[in-house]
Amino acid sequence: MRKEITILLCLAVSLAAFAQEPDKPAMEKFFMDGLSLYEGGLERPLPDSLQRVDKDLYVSDYGHYETESVRAVSYFLRDKKGNYTPLRDKDRPVESILTLLSGYTGSTNYTVALKQHRYNYAMEEVDVPLNRLLGFCIMECAFVPFVGIEKAQEDHVKATLFLVNEKLGYSHTFIFDIDPGILEKEEGLLQAEAYTFTPIHNLAR
Measure the CA–CA gap between 157 and 176, rounded to whole angstroms.
8
pLDDT at 2 > cutoff 80:
no
Closest CA to 95 of 65, 130, 59, 135: 59
pLDDT of 120 reads: 84
Nearest CA-CA partner of 137 in 110, 109, 171: 171
| Three-class SS state of 96 | helix
First-last CA distance in the chain: 39
Instruction: Report the interhelical angle of 2-18 vs 24-37 (nearest 10°).
Output: 160
Burial of residue 28, with CB atoms counted within 10 A of its CB: 0-12 exposed, 13-18 middle, 19 or more buried: buried
Strand, coil or helix: 139: helix
Burial of 102 (0-12, 13-18, 19+ CB in 10 A): buried
Q: What is the pLDDT of residue 116?
A: 97
pLDDT tens digits, 146-183: 999 999 998 899 999 999 998 888 999 999 999 999 99
pLDDT tens across 91-146, in order? 999 999 999 999 999 889 999 999 999 988 889 999 999 999 999 999 988 899 99
**pLDDT value, residue 8:** 56
> Which pLDDT value is given to residue 205?
43
The residue ranges of every structural domain in the chain are 2-45+76-199
- Confidence at residue 121, expressed as pLDDT on a 0 to 100 scale: 83
> How far apart are alpha carbons 77 and 119 in whole angstroms?
42
Q: How far is CA 177 from CA 32, 37, 132, in A?
A: 21, 25, 18
Closest of 203, 200, 205 to residue 17, by C-alpha: 200
Determine whether 1 is exposed, middle or buried from the number of CB atoms within 10 Å of its CB (0-12, 13-18, 19+).
Answer: exposed
Q: Let me know the angle formed at the C-alpha of 25 by 21 and 114, rounded to the nearest 5 degrees.
A: 140
**H or E segment and range at residue 93:** helix 93-101
**Which of 202, 195, 177, 183 lies closest to 28, judged by CA?**
195
Query: What confidence tens digit (pLDDT) does each residue in 31-78 have?
Result: 999 999 998 888 889 998 899 998 899 999 999 998 999 999 999 999
Burial of 184 (0-12, 13-18, 19+ CB in 10 A): exposed
